[in-house]
Homo-oligomer: A and B are copies of this chain.
């Protein structure tokens, strides 16, 4: 092994404002505020300068980086997997809800509420090693298509947010996902979709245990929620994960309220961003009355708290990668 020293003349060539880091953001207040904030924390001469080690940006996933209608994509995966598991072994359908869900009775599923979701997720996300589970998710993403758009779920990601992630990384930020979704689910596509590696995904997790199975060390997913990374759970997850506060947080629902509150209450420059789904034509329009991604308190308080409310319809020139 050899080591090398950088030597010789290094010339610094200004690129000036040649490249727009956020081409899918329309010119306007939202774009200006983002760029102004980023420039303020990377300028060593400014008293708002933030050390690269502290340039941590956290992003919710469902509804912030990818779509979440008509229902969280992970739940669609759980329903598909339940049907597949039931086809192989009908005995797993031990309750009326599971039978209804496997039969595609979405009214019964909806009526069962959060408890019903957790029951279905419990059955479909347990009794399997993390490695095998990830392979199942990968196979599903490769074949399943969204009922309304016909797109692969991991292509229903927001081009303007991809540009924001990339822009922040170019400016020395580290970008993380802090999601109510399951870590083992998100980690399957985070690298390819967002350029966010598995170790930069924070999320909900189920119980798990370590066991040597037939000589092979294995981490097995078990029934029951270990940690629910939503609402007041998000600041706790952030504190547990980082031991320091991010300086930028982005979300889209009231499940992100506490994360935004915790992040923006820190000292020094802070940025809170809320994606408001206002585009019924190109994506979906919903806020206060939505069963998924409800945004009410955040909508009321964003302005007073200094959080940027992104108007998807007017602020985003394109929604999906490829230009629509």
**Knowing A209-B232, A235-B217, A261-B212 touch, does A3 contact B14 (C-beta < 8 A)?**
yes
A4–B8 touching, CB < 8 Å:
no
Output the least CB separation between A201 and chain B (Å): 7
**Chain B residues with CB below 8 A from A39, complex form:** 1
**Chain B residues with CB below 8 A from A240, complex form:** 183, 205, 208
A43 CA to B198 CA, complexed, in Å: 24
B8–A10 touching, CB < 8 Å:
yes
Output the least CB separation between A323 and chain B (Å): 25
Interface segment, one of A109-117, A140-148, A241-249, A278-286: A241-249
A13 in the interface, Cβ–Cβ < 8 Å? yes
Main SS at interface, chain A? mixed
Q: Mark A179-217, 1 if CB is under 8 A from B, else 0.
A: 000011001000000000111010001001111100011
**Chain B residues with CB below 8 A from A19, complex form:** 3
B4–A15 touching, CB < 8 Å:
yes
A243–B183 touching, CB < 8 Å:
yes
Most buried by B among A11, A187, A243: A243
**Chain B residues with CB below 8 A from A2, complex form:** 14-16
A166 in the interface, Cβ–Cβ < 8 Å? no
Kindly identify, within residues 5 to 57 of chain A, every residue whose CB is under 8 Å from any CB belonging to chain B. 5-16, 19, 38-39, 42-43, 53, 56
**Chain B residues with CB below 8 A from A16, complex form:** 2-3
A236 in the interface, Cβ–Cβ < 8 Å? yes
**Chain B residues with CB below 8 A from A9, complex form:** 8-9
Kindly identify, within residues 234 to 263 of chain A, every residue whose CB is under 8 Å from any CB belonging to chain B. 234-236, 239-244, 258, 261-262
Minimum CB distance partner of A14 in chain B: B2
A265 in the interface, Cβ–Cβ < 8 Å? yes
A97 in the interface, Cβ–Cβ < 8 Å? no
A318 in the interface, Cβ–Cβ < 8 Å? no
